[in-house]
Amino acid sequence: MSHPPSSDQPAAALAPAPTVPPSCGNGRVAIVTGLSGAGKTLALKGLEDLGWEAVDNLPLSLVANLVRSGSGSSRPLAVGIDIRTRDFGVEPVLNAVDRLMSENGRKVELLFLDCDDDVLCRRYTESRRRHPLAIDRPLLDGIRHERALLLPLRARADLVVDTTGLAPAALKRVLAGHFGLETDRGLVVFVTSFAYRNGLPREADLVFDARFLTNPHYRSDLRPLTGRDPAVAGYVAADPAFGPFIDSLTGLLAPLLPRFAAEGKSYLTIAIGCTGGRHRSVAVAERIAEWLRNRGERVDLRHRELDEGAGG
C-alpha cells in the first residue's frame, strides 16, 4: 500500500464548484477525521444513530459533489475522511471545508478523533490489523508519523474527542451532546463522578476535587455503600466543609452556564473526583446535578466507576 500524497498536493476537491443549488441549504455537515484506530467508524455509526446520514471512505474529490447533490434531504450529513481516503491531503481537506462553508452559509463542523499512542498500539495489536502508515516501518513509527501529518487538522477542528479511555457508550453520549438534532436542545450539562486513581475523564471541561472531604471509606458500615445511598450522602454532607464547597461551586457555575450557552456551546462536562470514585465524588455529583435540574438545566448524570463496575 502506498503512502498518501503530501498535504501540498493538489486535489480535485479544489476544482470550480458547479452551479448546483446545495441540497443541504443551511443544513449541517460534519467532517469526521482523526488518527487511524481512534474510533472514526464508531463515531460515524453513533452519528447515524442520532439521525445523521453517514458516508465513509469516499474519495476526497467527490465530497463536495455529495454535499451539493440530492433532492432537498433534511438530514444532516457526516462524511468520514482519514489517511486511507483516496487523494487525501491535509490542505485539500481544509480547503474543501472552507469552500463548503462559503456556500450559502452552510454549517460545516470538523470533528477530530484523537487517542494516546500506547492505546492505539494495543488496539492494532489486538485486532491484528495493519496501520496504513506502518506497512514498511514499526507500528509506533507509523502512528507518530500520522499524528505529525494530521496536526493541522487537529488544530483546526471544531471538536476534538480523545477516545483513550472513552467507552463506546460514553463516546455516543459526547456526540449526542454536540451533534444532537433537537432544535431547542440548548446547553446540555453532563455531570460525572470519577476516581483520580483511574485517571481524569478525557472529555471533562471543568474538574473539581472532593478528596478533602471526610472519607466514608474508613467507616466499615459505609464502605460497601456508595454516594447514592442516603447514609453516605448524609455522612459526606455532615462535613463542615461540604456546605461552603457546594456554595462556592454553584456560585462559580451560575454565571458561567448562560455564558457558555450564549457562546454556542452545546455540551458542558463537569467532573467531580475523589480517590475511589464511589463515595465523596458521587455524593457531590448527585448534589450538583440536583441543583442544575432545579435551575431548569438539561442534565445527564453518570458515575464512571459505579457504571463501569470499578471497585474502591
Tell me the pLDDT tens digit for each residue of 246-270: 999 999 999 999 998 877 677 889 9
Provide the 10 A C-beta neighbour count for residue 12.
15
Surface-to-core class of residue 257, CB atoms within 10 Å of its CB (0-12 exposed, 13-18 middle, 19+ buried): middle
Look at residues 148, 179, 210 and tell me which one is the last residue of a structural domain: 179
Look at the alpha carbons of 173, 179, 180, 186 in this order and tell me if their dihedral is positive or negative. Answer: positive
Q: Is residue 150 part of a domain?
A: yes
Binding site for GTP, by residue number, is 82-85
Same domain, 238 and 167: no
Q: What pLDDT score was predicted for residue 182? A: 60
In a domain, 5, yes or no: no
pLDDT reported for residue 208: 97
Residue of 113, 109, 110, 112 whose CA lies nearest to 28? 109
Return the pLDDT at 222.
95
User: Which of 67, 81, 62, 82 lies closest to 22, judged by CA?
Assistant: 67
Q: Domain for residue 71, yes or no?
A: yes
Within 8 A by CB and 6+ apart from 9, the residues are 87, 89, 92
Q: Residues 53-86, buried b or exposed e (16+ Cβ, 10 A)? A: ebbbeeebbbbbebbbeeeeeeebbbbbbbbebe
Residues 157 and 199 in one domain: no
- What pLDDT is attached to residue 72? 52
Which of the pair, 71 or 174, is modelled with greater confidence?
174
- Type of residue at 244: P
pLDDT confidence bin for 310, thresholds 50/70/90: very low
78-96 mean pLDDT: 84
The predicted pLDDT at position 209 comes to 97
pTM attached to this predicted model: 0.63
Q: Write down the pLDDT at residue 2.
A: 38
Which residue in this structure is represented by grid cell 508519523? 145
Question: Does 128 map to a domain?
Answer: yes
At which of 179, 212, 239 does a domain end?
179
Predicted local distance difference test score (pLDDT) of residue 22: 38
As a whole number, mean pLDDT of residues 77-91 equals 85
Strands 298-303 and 188-195: parallel
pLDDT score, position 104: 62
Residue 1 lies in a domain: no
Same domain, 97 and 245: no
H or E stretch including 113? Answer: strand 107-114
Taking residues 49-78, what's their average pLDDT? 78
Q: Cβ contacts of residue 259 below 8 Å, gap of 6+?
A: none
Residue 16, pLDDT score = 35
Among 94-98, 206-210, 294-298, where is mean pLDDT lowest? Answer: 94-98
Same domain, 93 and 230: no
Task: For residue 211, report the phi and psi dihedrals to the nearest 5 degrees.
Answer: -70, -10
Number of domains forming the structure of the chain: 2
7-52: per-residue pLDDT in tens?
Answer: 333 333 333 333 333 334 347 889 999 999 999 999 999 898 888 9
pLDDT given for residue 117 in this prediction:
93
Annotated binding site: 34-41, 82-85
Range 148-170 average pLDDT:
89
| Comparison of pLDDT for 72 and 263, the residue scoring more | 263
If asked whether residues 166 and 221 sit together in one domain, one would say: no
Beta strand ranges found along 218-308 (DSSP E): 267-274, 298-303
The mean of the pLDDT values for the chain is 83
> Residue 281 corresponds to which cell in the numbers above?
465524588
Do 157 and 281 fall within a single domain? no
**Residue 312 within a domain:** no
- For residue 205, what are the domain limits? 188-307
109 membership: H or E segment, kind and range: strand 107-114
Tell me the binding residues for ATP. Answer: 34-41
Establish if 38 belongs to a structural domain: yes
